[in-house]
Amino acid sequence: MIMTKTNRGGKRANAGRKAGSNVYGEPTVAIRVPQSKQPVIRDFLQSLQRKRASASLGNVSGWMEMDAANGDMMLPFYTSKVAAGFPSPADDHVEQRLSPNSYLVDNDDSTFFVCVKGDSMIDAGIFEDDMLVVDRERVAQVGDIILAMLDGEFTVKILGHSGSNVRLIPANKHYPVIEVGEEQLFEVWGVITGSMRKFV
């Protein structure tokens, strides 16, 4: 009888779940615990996940409407490239003038601003105290950053889905993905189309 070597029964390359793809967002290890304590530890971990998820909700601290009266303010837009410093204010360096409102806002009547608190979206370039531009008229697509209301709390997250279920995805590995259940109150309030930040 001739025996041939096969891959059956052995570990396959890249097989199994990707490291860090679990609900905790990081690798896990096996530990031995008393059998009677297993439910207690499981309850603790589930409570920790719920606490992390709730911490990433309510991450909107302020709300402002568009001020149409100041919509025509035009500022110099310098297109010349400089290594450092400020470009010359001479008129020949100003190729056009820019309205901050027209640059940031597509739909005046459906746009408002919200101020961010927390750090659940830092990997998307959104930091605490940033002012986000929200357009209620834009239809949210998977992958958009949205302002959503979940069970009475506003939150800014990336819109995702799993099968027929909505997912709210943070841009910070320390926060869990929020799976929106059928029994929860969920509404998309708008799509984030831009942001503003003050340094001083």
Cα(83)–Cα(72) distance, rounded to whole angstroms?
Answer: 31
DSSP class of residue 57? Answer: S
Radius of gyration of the chain (CA): 24
First vs last Cα of the chain: how many Å apart?
A: 81
In the residue annotation, 157 being an active-site residue is answered as yes
In the residue annotation, 162 being an active-site residue is answered as no
Q: Which residue spans within the chain are E strands per DSSP?
A: 60-65, 75-78, 94-98, 111-116, 131-135, 145-150, 153-162, 165-169, 178-179, 186-196
Q: Which residue among the candidates 157, 162, 195, 198 is catalytic per the annotation?
A: 157
Contact 117, 75 (CB under 8 A): no
Instruction: Give me the sign of the Cα torsion angle 139, 184, 178, 18.
Output: negative
Q: Which residue among the candidates 120, 162, 195, 198 is catalytic per the annotation?
A: 120
DSSP class of residue 10? Answer: S
User: Which of 134-159 are b and which e, b meaning 16 or more Cβ less than 10 Å from the residue's Cβ?
Assistant: bbeebebeeebbbbbebeeebbbbbb
- Token pair, residue 162, equals 């799993």
Residues tagged active-site: 120, 157
